Structure 1
Amino acid sequence: MQPEQLDQLILSGDCEMIYNQTSELFQNQIALSELQDVICSFSEGTQQCFLQAITPIGDSKEYTWIDDTGTKGIMALFDSENIITALQLLPLQPFPETDQQWTKNEFILPMRDEWFTFWGGNNELINYHYPYASQRYAFDFVIMEENRTYAGHPNDNEHYFAFGKEVVAPAAGTIVKIENNIIDNKPGEMNEENPSGNYIVIDHGHNEYSIIVHFKQHSLTVTEGDYVKQGEVVGLCGNSGHSSEAHIHFQVSDSPILDDGRSIRIRFKDGREPRRGDFVQQSLS
């Protein structure tokens, strides 16, 4: 079985073929009969599934699918030999009303060079923010090279490709809130007291606010009241706040306060919408 065939095998109920391609640890935890029950329940009434993303996770690859109603999902982790080491079949909650509401402003990505979309998309499997109205259409971006986000020792921020990279304004507007003094975390640890870490909020008009968080400490080049142009450097990527490694969290909300607002689906200038597993690069066209 090739990984891309898994959804069809699940829908056809070919449990033994699937089970025979799972790892020993997986089989020690789940019996064939248990897997059969789960697959039978999942496939009932399901006509078709669609591949959403293929995401490198170290030496493994994560495959995700959703069904044609958007209410069921599959996540499978395959190792380098295409052995299944993890498998989830789960219900999904779609939000079709807000999925159709886009920003009035047009945006570019808030970074230069090529980045990797770690979280992004319109279901929980490819975007863990999605169930929460305040962050539903947020993105998390890292820099990925040869399936790794760092080179060297994983406990050193400086060894992460994204750390210290320039972050730019995704659209023109006025800086209305900043934080610049939160220390960067040691990789693998998080600051639960200050989850946003260092951040900026930009007012773009139309009741739309860019919220970009996890900047490097003392790296912001703007202050409250400044007007910024689209593409202008505003700071450096860091690892502050609720962050286990250097990355950019970017969203547009209808409030300058992250937890009080509602995340809005972002209309990008180039017409693309990043999803988990996508390599993306800023476009000014």
Structure 2
Amino acid sequence: MNKIINKRNLVMFSLVGALTVGSLVASASDAPAKTEVVSSSSVSKVEAVNYSQSSTSSFKPDQLLRLLQQEKYERIYGQIGAEYKKVYSFKDFKKEAILYNKNATSYTRVSHVPLNNTNYYAWTDPKGEKTIQAQFDSKNKIEVIVFNKMKKYPQTDALRTQTTFQLPFQGEWFVTWGGSNELINYHYGAEQQRYAYDLIMVKNGFSYKGDPAKNESYFAFGQPILASAAGKVVRIVNDIHDNKPVGTENKEQIAGNHVIIDHGNGEFSYYAHLQKGSISVKVGDEVNVGDRLGKCGNSGNSSEAHLHFEVANSAELFTTKSLRVHWKDVDDYEQGTVIKAP
């Protein structure tokens, strides 16, 4: 998988070792929404050193909210990683922290995902308007912290596909991004992929075993990907190299190797970031639910082997509108869900 928040957009992670991320939206629109913490200013070396020494002991993730309430901004900033400080000065951090603490009596945790020695947390205020997202490394260093306002799209949230879909794989998989808000689904702010899912395989808290730079180390890499519903194949791409080493991303061919199936009713399912040369169907083929399409890979805008699955109203990657999936057996698959397919 990939990290949830990175220095490209501060809303999704891209360094090896955390949550899986893959986007079908290019460049600046990768992010679900424009956050208010991004600054073009950078911290000087002197400033970074001073704040890194502002506290002699580190705090645990569950202490973050209390420290914010106590206005211990220097202590919090002292535990933020150096990479993030390059684009996020103490002045910016304090300004946003004060703004988002104002009139917020409490926050409720809505997500906690421990994966690959990192911990992602998301909180929201009682009104569901103000949000905080943070990722901690194995030593509790804050790799990213983001204050934001919740984006809501109730009209499209209420609609479901006419087609009923089943899971596009077999075995046990893990939802790294999925659901109908941007705290648990970073795709949500982008209309083209609002209800998309990023899915990986996890064993003992890790998505890989062995060398994290090799695709073959990831449990999802090479796993069969199946048609979620009957339909006609209308697009395939099968010749894009899987990203090597893991952690590099192909921003020129965003979806990587992929299959798109037309199910009628203006509903098209997408299976993206597949393994090079693995696709076993061709344009024009009629497929049934459960038919094999290809193998899970790490091609395109992907930071590790995972499946990006979504349903949209056209086969045009950059102009389509994502549709909320009507699943056969559940209401939705949200971030952190372990899925056991037949």
Structure 2 distance, partners of 1:152, 1:27, is: 26
Counterpart pick for 2:197 among 134, 139, 149? 139
Residue 93 to residue 222, structure 1, CA distance change in 2 (3 Å): same
Deviation (angstroms), 1:261: 0.9
Residues in 1 aligned to 2:163 and 2:109: alpha-carbon distance in whole angstroms = 30
Q: TM-score, normalised by structure 2?
A: 0.72
Task: Describe how 1:252-271 pairs up with structure 2 within 5 A.
Answer: 252-271=311-330
TM-score by length of 1: 0.85
1:154 paired with 2:212, answer yes
Against the structure 1 CA distance between its residues 218 and 33, is the aligned structure 2 distance closer, same or farther, given a 3 Å change threshold? Answer: closer
Q: 2:70 aligns with which of 14, 32, 50?
A: 14
Change (3 A) 1:31 1:250: closer
Deviation per residue, 1:126-158 (Å, 9 max, x gap): 222111100111111111222322111122211
> Residue 15 of structure 1 contacts residue 35 of structure 1 at CA under 8 Å; is this kept in 2?
no
Cα distance per residue 1:194-252 (max 9 Å; x no partner): 11111111111111100111111111111111111112211110111111211100000
Q: Aligned Cα RMSD in Å?
A: 2.8
Which runs of no fewer than 5 residues in structure 2 stay unpaired? 1-58
Q: Give the aligned partner of residue 220 of structure 1.
A: 279
The count of residues paired between Structure 1 and Structure 2 equals: 279
Cα distance in 2 between the residues matched to 1:242 and 1:234: 20
SS of the aligned residue for 1:42 comes to helix
Contact kept in structure 2, 1:214 and 1:243, CA below 8 Å:
yes
* CA distance in 1: counterparts of 2:319 and 2:203, whole angstroms: 36
Q: Which runs of 5+ in 1 are unaligned?
A: none
> Which of 158, 170, 179 is the equivalent residue of 1:100?
158
Q: Shift of the alpha carbon at 1:3?
A: 4.7
Larger mean Cα displacement after TM superposition, 264-273 or 33-42: 33-42
Amino acid at match of 2:297: G
Superposed, 1:269-280 pairs within 5 Å as 269-280=328-339
**Counterpart residue number, 1:165:** 223
- SS of corresponding position for 1:26: coil
> What is the aligned partner in structure 1 of residue 38 from structure 2?
none
Distance 2:248 2:137 in 1: 26
Task: Quote the residue 2:36 is aligned against.
Answer: none
Which stretch has the larger CA shift, 217-226 or 44-53?
A: 44-53
Other structure's SS at 1:129 match: helix
Q: Give the secondary structure class of the aligned counterpart of 2:188.
A: coil
Q: Secondary structure at the match of 2:258?
A: strand
Q: CA deviation at 1:27?
A: 9.7
> Pairwise mapping of residues 13-162 of structure 1 onto structure 2 (< 5 A)?
13-16=69-72, 22=76, 24-26=78-80, 38-46=96-104, 49-79=107-137, 86-162=144-220
State the SS of the aligned residue for 2:213: coil
